[in-house]
């Protein structure tokens, strides 16, 4: 059954869901920081590789989100069910391959990006344990995409809340040896994360097949609908390539920080990243709701309404982020003290958070307008400019500002700031020019 949706009915539950989902990583970092800054920094680096794997899953899940929304708008229910089943099958296969790869080659990849010996022990245990269960995240991705597209954003919130509670309890028990369990350090945090994902997969899968997709839809797999797979790849691969490019560039920048600036600056970057994560929550919630609504409107053929909805959502996100930027600028020290009592780490964190206040305003353009373009089926443009500027400005700029100009970690953030603003303005112009109108799929 499909539920009617509005911006608020989607965005508010997604807002709290994203808070809880992002809290998973922040809680891991925060609890590990009670053991040592090195443990927290190591897991932060490992999570970059894990996030890189998760981006691979978006090849299918992003394409599925766009297709499902447009099929719902066009009231093509059989095509909706076919899309969901194809996504489940393909993501399960991709997830299994990624799980095996991270378990056997995760430590080698950490060495490749330049992790220091002091961080390797923590990061290696974490990436192998979380990595072997990454297929769970692949399966969870399509379940949550399906539920949101059909308007069940409250239910995804409840499932994420359950996952979060289990993760927090598990982190505490296995990190500090509570409730009679052994204290396993970073490995314990990884085990807790994996168990919480398993519970979420079970709950979401039951909901999807009870309320959205009839079990009879499994028969679509017998005569595999290749045309659906082609559409998923047509939409998802470019979108995933953009995210992949971003994450690879971030890994390269992490290597620059580790090699040229050392462990302390890497730890500062990890803590600032955890704080900045919350700045994205409002805009992510609006953009995800925006993509679903625009996809439905495109499916119905309401192009002008789709245009104005995206502009309105951008304005809301921009104003809210201005307020968050003020907090970063003036209260950076207080925020950094949540994670560390090291005066040097706190001081550098304050400087970076002040710069990030301006970076986030540029990032809003990308978050909102890329989601609008994707909802309309226009996925190529943002990929092209992403490949050019993520590497030409962000990665190359970070190297130049750090190695040649010796501007340290602030130089890295300046390069990131320039990248977000340039790409953001170009994506806005693409939306404003309405060249996406001809990209509808249904």
67 within some domain: yes
Q: What value does the mean pLDDT take over residues 262-281?
A: 85
Residue 373, helix vs strand vs coil: helix
Q: 76 or 280: whose pLDDT is higher?
A: 76
Residue 2 lies in a domain: no
> Quick check: is 157 in a domain?
yes
Confirm whether 221 is domain-assigned. Answer: yes
Q: Which residues of 205-243 are buried (b: 16+ CB within 10 A; e: fewer)?
A: eebbeeebbeeebeebeeeebeebbebbebbbbbbbbbb
What pLDDT band is residue 361 in, cutting at 50, 70 and 90?
very high
Tokens of 155: 């239910």
Domain extent, residue 86, equals: 7-439
So what's the pLDDT on residue 406?
93
Q: What is the pLDDT of residue 1?
A: 62
Q: Are 87 and 126 in contact (CB under 8 A)?
A: no
**pLDDT score at 412:** 95
Q: How far apart are CA 150 and CA 295, in angstroms?
A: 12
Tokens linked to 315: 């304005």
CB 27 within 8 A of CB 168: yes
In the predicted model, what is the mean pLDDT of the chain?
Answer: 88
Rounded Cα gap, residues 119 and 255, in angstroms? 13
What residues have CB less than 8 Å from 329, skipping those under 6 apart?
353, 354, 357
Distances (CA, A) of 158 to 14, 15, 20, 22, 162: 11, 12, 10, 15, 6
315 domain residue, yes or no: yes
| 378: its two tokens | 């226009």
pLDDT in tens, 113-129: 778 887 888 888 888 99
With respect to residue 176, please indicate whether it lies within any of the assigned structural domains. yes
pLDDT at 422 over 90: yes
State whether residue 368 is helix, strand or coil.
Answer: helix
Whether 1 is covered by a domain: the verdict is no
CA angle 107/47/21 to nearest 5° reads: 150
Record the pTM: 0.78
Query: Structural domain tally of the chain?
Result: 1
């Amino acid at each position: 059954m499909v539920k009617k949706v509005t911006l608020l009915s989607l965005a508010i539950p997604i807002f709290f869901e994203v808070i809880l989902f992002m809290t998973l990583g922040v809680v891991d970092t925060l609890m590990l920081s009670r053991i040592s800054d090195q443990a927290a920094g190591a897991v932060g680096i490992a999570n970059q590789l894990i996030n890189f794997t998760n981006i691979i899953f978006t090849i299918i899940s992003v394409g599925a989100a766009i297709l499902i929304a447009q099929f719902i708008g066009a009231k093509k229910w059989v095509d909706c069910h076919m899309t969901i089943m194809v996504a489940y099958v393909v993501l399960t296969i991709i997830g299994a391959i990624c799980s095996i790869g991270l378990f056997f080659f995760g430590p080698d990849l950490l060495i490749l990006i330049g992790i220091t010996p002091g961080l390797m022990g923590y990061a290696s245990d974490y990436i192998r344990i979380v990595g072997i269960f990454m297929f769970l995240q692949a399966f969870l991705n399509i379940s949550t995409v399906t539920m949101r597209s059909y308007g069940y954003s409250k239910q995804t919130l409840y499932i994420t809340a359950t996952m979060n509670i289990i993760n927090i309890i598990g982190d505490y028990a296995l990190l500090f040896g509570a409730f009679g369990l052994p204290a396993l350090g970073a490995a314990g945090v990884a085990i807790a994360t994996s168990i919480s994902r398993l519970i979420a997969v079970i709950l979401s899968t039951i909901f999807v097949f009870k309320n959205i997709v009839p079990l009879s839809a499994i028969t679509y797999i017998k005569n595999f609908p290749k045309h659906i797979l082609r559409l998923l790849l047509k939409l998802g691969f470019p979108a995933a390539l953009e995210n992949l490019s971003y994450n690879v560039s971030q890994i390269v920048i992490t290597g620059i920080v580790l090699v040229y600036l050392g462990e302390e600056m890497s730890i500062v970057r990890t803590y600032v990243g955890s704080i900045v994560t919350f700045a994205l929550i409002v805009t992510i919630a609006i953009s995800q709701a925006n993509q679903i609504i625009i996809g439905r409107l495109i499916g119905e053929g309401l192009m002008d309404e789709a245009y104005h909805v995206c502009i309105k959502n951008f304005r809301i996100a921009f104003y809210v982020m201005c307020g968050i930027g003020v907090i970063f600028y003036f209260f950076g020290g207080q925020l950094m003290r949540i994670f560390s009592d090291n005066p040097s780490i706190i001081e550098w964190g304050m400087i970076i958070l002040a710069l990030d206040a301006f970076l986030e305003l540029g990032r809003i353009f990308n978050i909102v307008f890329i989601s609008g373009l994707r909802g309309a089926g226009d996925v190529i443009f943002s990929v092209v400019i992403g490949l050019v500027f993520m590497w030409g400005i962000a990665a190359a700029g970070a190297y130049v500002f750090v190695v040649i100009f010796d501007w340290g970690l602030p130089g890295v953030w300046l390069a990131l700031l320039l990248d977000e603003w340039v790409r953001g303005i170009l994506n806005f112009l693409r939306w404003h020019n309405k060249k996406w109108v001809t990209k509808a799929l249904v």
